[in-house]
Amino acid sequence: MDGDTGEVFQRRLCPDHREIVGWLGELPGPVAVSYEAGPTGFGLARALAAAGITCEVAAPSKLIRPAGDRVKTDARDAAHLARVLHLGQVTAVTIPSASQEAARDLVRARDDCRGDLMTARHRVSKLLLRQGIVYSGGRAWTGDHERWLRAQRFDDPALQLSYEAAWDAMLACLDRRRRLDSAITAMAADSEFTPVVHRLGCIRGVATLTAFGLAVEIGDWHRLTGRTIGAYVGLVPSEYSSGDTRAQGGVTKTGNGHVRRLLVEAAWHHRSRYRPGAELRRRWDLASPAARARGQAANRRLHNRWTGFDARQKRPVIAHVAIARELAGWCWSLAVMPD
């Protein structure tokens, strides 16, 4: 869209970056481009930036759309993006580098593997349950449980083959998770994210995998503040207020769901008594004295908050989210500390 005349230039393009850059070079300059963040990734944005073309990747949830617009096509979406870009009302997302995006894909591959492993374990246990076989020798998915599973045999060949297929699928997921864990641990120890990982590791419940996941998912921590990071990960209450009436609901659950899950899981660790163990002290040794002191203050504060919630008989699910929201702020304060 020509910002001065309002003339619209339209062309259907293939995904080849050279063709897109060539067509944009034929337009009267200066040229600015916008497209929605999604499965197409950030390769096009980096190619346009390398060619000297301004590109903003729009956050889809922040695009202003008329409430009465019920027709959605690619052409209408493109025209709408052009108008919003011309008005300067595009809320852009941060464009990661190729290495940052690759590290993020690695973390998300591990998260996908975790979900696949849970599904595979459920299939094994539910197949046994349908046969009336239930493990009662202690905690599930331990060494003893695994030996018990290996010893299961069935007279029916079809049932035996089904069990072996489910068991093999679970072992494959375990092997895949181990390989991904090793790769993440190696990258966390020697990469551009290492300083942030070491500082985040000073907090209880934030070990290497969690710290690396937070580091690569958020990327540039300086674009956030201690107040805004809670909203970024969707851990602030929703609100429906009008006039003198104020009504708050559950958390918004917007933004980065991967970061929210990591924070929620780490928040549970702060409920038990604070007694630094050998693993936490080992992580402290990798960080600076200032980061170690900040981490200890966070651990004491978050445990005291849990204790206060329990004393007031606050519902654990509500207290848990509140701890996760405050934990996000502590993580931000450690991530932006100077090395």
Per-10-residue mean pLDDT of the chain, 339 residues long, equals 85 90 88 91 93 93 83 89 91 92 96 96 97 93 95 96 97 97 96 96 95 95 92 90 85 91 95 93 95 96 95 92 95 92
Answer yes or no: are the C-beta atoms of 247 and 239 closer than 8 Å. Answer: yes
| 3-state DSSP assignment of residue 201 | coil
pLDDT at position 8: 86
Q: What is the dihedral of CA 323, 328, 332, 334, to 10 degrees?
A: 50
Task: Look up the pTM and report it.
Answer: 0.89
**Tokens found for residue 191:** 């990469």
In this predicted structure, what is the pLDDT of residue 65? 82
pLDDT score, position 111: 95
DSSP-H helix ranges across 27-156: 43-50, 74-87, 98-130, 143-150
For CA atoms 22, 26, 32, 35, the dihedral sign is negative
59 three-class SS: coil
CA distance 236 to 118: 29
Identify the pLDDT of residue 163: 97
pLDDT at position 70 is 83
